[in-house]
Amino acid sequence: MVDRGRGRVFGEVAEIYDAARPGYPRELVAEVLAYAALGDRAVLEIGAGTGKATAAFAEAVAELVCIEPDPRMAQVLRRNTAHRPGVRVHVGSFEDWRPEPDGREVGLAFAATSWHWTDPQRRWDLLHDVLAPGGAVALFWNPQGIRDADLHAALSAVDARHGVSGAPHGVLASSFGEVPGHWAGLPGAWPQEECNRDGRFRDLRSVRYRQDLSYDTHRYVGFLASLSAYRVLPADRHEAALAETAEVLEAHGGGIPMTLFTDLFLARVG
């Protein structure tokens, strides 16, 4: 069962989310659009957030409908896409959204680190109903792993004291497999098995992009503050966990070396 309430805690820190979360590679956008072969069909984004993926797609498509359930996130999304007249923002859930009767056919539906918040009992039916014949779906995530084993151990001790699970630094970058979707950050989230069981989609593909990056202490703590693993903690434990994490980072040179794995899943309606 999906905890959809937990999926909507991000609006409390919409500005932090927008500033601290990493974006997505332009190579991914090009790969998705080449696969989709849109023509004049529209694009649908599921769980757009503040637009971390939206902006890059909006540069390349004529019409992009963004679904975002949290009005606070949608407000930032509207600001970030105000210069893109082809972007329309719908505040609500994917499960409740219906295309306009006179709207263009949807040739691509994509979800950037949001598919795991949708209803697993309905999402493939909804995708099938929304997409035009031959339409494509692109689902992608940005899991991260820490490259420093000693720093990993020190930060894991902080997490254990405060009951934090699923932090990016909780996984070593070296533990990621070579196959897209083989990561520990979102167990069960990789969609290939579900898609295969559904049976109405074909031409399944998986692609991985990798980037080494480093955060300074301020940006990394801001990033953590935007994650549901921290947002759901009681206020005192939330603040203590972030403060102690900052202390550890400062003691290890004032930052954290991470590897960003952007994993992409593609399929199209048969």
Q: What CATH code is carried by the domain that includes residue 66?
A: 3.40.50.150
Does 262 or 2 have the greater pLDDT score?
262
* Bridge partners of residue 187, in order along the sequence: none
CA pair distance 222, 263, nearest whole angstrom: 23
Q: What value does the mean pLDDT take over residues 120-132?
A: 96
Across the range 188-195, mean pLDDT stands at: 86
For the chain, the residue count is: 270
Q: Which of 121-130, 143-152, 173-182 has the lowest mean pLDDT?
A: 173-182
Say if 104 falls within a structural domain.
yes
Q: Is the pLDDT of residue 186 over 90?
A: no
Q: Residue 1: pLDDT above 50?
A: no
212 vs 124: CA distance, rounded Å = 33
Classify residue 158: in a domain, yes or no.
no
pLDDT of residue 6: 47
- In which domain, by residue range, is 17 found? 6-144+177-213+261-269
Let me know if residue 58 belongs to a domain. yes
Q: Which residues of 155-167 are buried (b: 16+ CB within 10 A; e: fewer)?
A: bbebbeebebeeb
The pairing of strands 201-216 and 255-269 is antiparallel
**Residue 59 resides in a domain:** yes
Measured at the CA of 79, the angle between CA 144 and CA 42, to 5 degrees, comes to 80
* Best-predicted range by mean pLDDT (97-111, 153-167, 170-184): 153-167
Q: State the chain's mean pLDDT as an integer.
A: 90
Whether pLDDT at 255 is above 70: yes
172, with CB counted inside 10 A (0-12, 13-18, 19+), is middle
Phi, psi of 258 (to 5 degrees): -125, 160
In a domain, 254, yes or no: no
Q: In 3D, which of 113, 104, 124, 97 has the Cα closest to residue 51?
A: 113
Q: How far apart are the first and last CA of the chain?
A: 28
- H helices present in 141-231, as ranges: 149-162, 192-198, 217-225, 228-231
Residue 154: the pLDDT is: 97
* Total domain count, the chain: 1
Rounded mean pLDDT, 138-151? 95
| Per-residue pLDDT, 184 | 52
* Euclidean distance between CA atoms 51 and 130, whole angstroms: 21
Looking at residues 168-174, what average pLDDT do you find? 93
What percent of the chain stands above pLDDT 70?
92
Instruction: Quote the pLDDT of residue 20.
Output: 66
Among 79-88, 103-112, 179-188, the range scoring the smallest mean pLDDT is: 179-188
Q: How many CB atoms lie within 10 A of CB 125?
A: 12
User: CA 250 to CA 218: how far, in whole Å?
Assistant: 10
Q: Is residue 110 part of a domain?
A: yes
Residue 188 is predicted with a pLDDT of: 60
- DSSP class of residue 105 equals P
Q: What is the largest CA-CA distance in the chain?
A: 59
Band of residue 104 on the pLDDT scale cut at 50, 70, 90: confident
Beta-bridge partners for 112: 140
Residue 218 counted as domain residue: no
Examine residue 48 and state whether it is found in any structural domain, yes or no: yes
